[in-house]
Structure 1
Amino acid sequence: MKLQRMRIEQLRQFRKPFVLDNLQSGLNLIHGPNESGKSTLVRAIRAAFFERYRSTAVDDLRPWGDSAAAPTIELDFEHDNRNWHLTKSFLQRKRCDLTVGTETYSEDDAEEKLAALLGYQYPKRGASKAEHWGIPGLLWVEQGTGQDIEQAIEHAGDHLKSALNSMVGEVASSGGDDLIETVRSQRDTLLTGTGKPRGDYLQLEKDRVLYQREIEELKERVHKYQEQVDRLGKLTQDYDQAEAERPWEEAQRQLEDARTRYQQVERLEQQQHQEKATLAQLQQNHRLLQQNKEHLEGLSRQLESRKAELDRAERDLSTAQAQTPMIAGRLQEARTGYEKAEQRRKLAVLLQTRERLEQDVRRLEQQQQILTQNLAKAKDYHQQLEQARQQARDNRIDSAAVKKLKATANQLNEETIRSRTIATRLSWELDANASLTLNNEPLTGQGEQQLLEESTLVIPGVGTLGITPGGEELASTRRKLKTLEDSFAEQLNTLGVESVEQAEDRLSVFESAGRTLKHAEDLLKSVAPSGIEQLVTEQSEAERELEKARSQLKATPEPDSKAQVAALEEAEAAFVQAGTELDKAESDERGHQAKLSALQQTRDNAKTEWQRLAEEEKSPERQQQLRQITTDLANIEKQQTELQASLERREREIREARPDFLKQDIERYQNAANHLRQTQENRGRELRDIKVRLEAWGAEGLEEQLNEKEAELDQCNRHYEELHRRAQALDLLLTLLTEKRQALTRRLQAPLQKHLNHYLSVLFPEASLEVDEQLRPGTFSRGSELGQITELSFGAREQMGLISRLAYADLLREAGRPTLIILDDTLVHSDSDRLEDMKRILFDAASRHQILLFTCHPEKWQDLGVPPLDIQASKEQAAQSL
Structure 2
Amino acid sequence: MLIEQIAVKNFRNLADVNLTLQPGITLIKAKNEGGKTSLRKAVEIALFGDPRSAAAKVYQHQTWGQNSLYEIRLDFSADGKRYRLVRDFEARTSVLENLADGKKLTDKKRIEEKLAEILGLPTATLFLNTVYFSAEEMIQLKNAEELRKRLEEKLSGLDGVVVSKLLKDIDDHLSELTKGLKGTAKNPGPIRRLTDKLDALQAELREMEETVRQAAAKYAEYYETSQAIATLKEQLAIKETENEKYVQYKKAKEMWDNATARLNTLTDQLAQRANYETVAKQLADELTQIETQGQQIAAVVAAIDQALQTAAELARSRTDAQILATVLAKIAAAQADLEAAQTVLAGCVAVKPADVKTAQKLASEIHGLAQAGKNEGFVVDITPLTAALPTVIVDGEPLTNPAQTVEARASVEIELPGVARIRIGNKNADAAKRLAAERQARANLAALLAGYGASDPDELARLKEAYDQASAQVQAKQAALTALLGGHPLEHYHQQQAAWARTIEGQEQALQTQIQAALAAASSTGTTAPAASDLPAALAWLQTLHAALTDQRDKLRIQWRDKNNELQQVQGRLKQLPPADKLEADQKAAARDVFVAKVAFDDLNLPAISPEQLIRLEKEVADLKHELRDKEIAQAKLEAYLATVRYGIEDIETKREEIETCQEQLRALQEEVQVLSILKEWFSEARNNTVAKITSDIGDALLRYFNTLTEGRYNQVGLSPDLSPMVFSADKGDHVDIGSELSTGTRDQLYFATRLALIPAISQGKKPPLLLDDPFVHFDPDRRAKAFALLKELAKDHQILLFTCGDGCDAYADTVINL
Q: Same fold (TM over 0.5)?
A: no
Q: In terms of Rg, which structure is larger?
A: 2
| TM-score after normalising by structure 1 | 0.36
| TM-score after normalising by structure 2 | 0.39
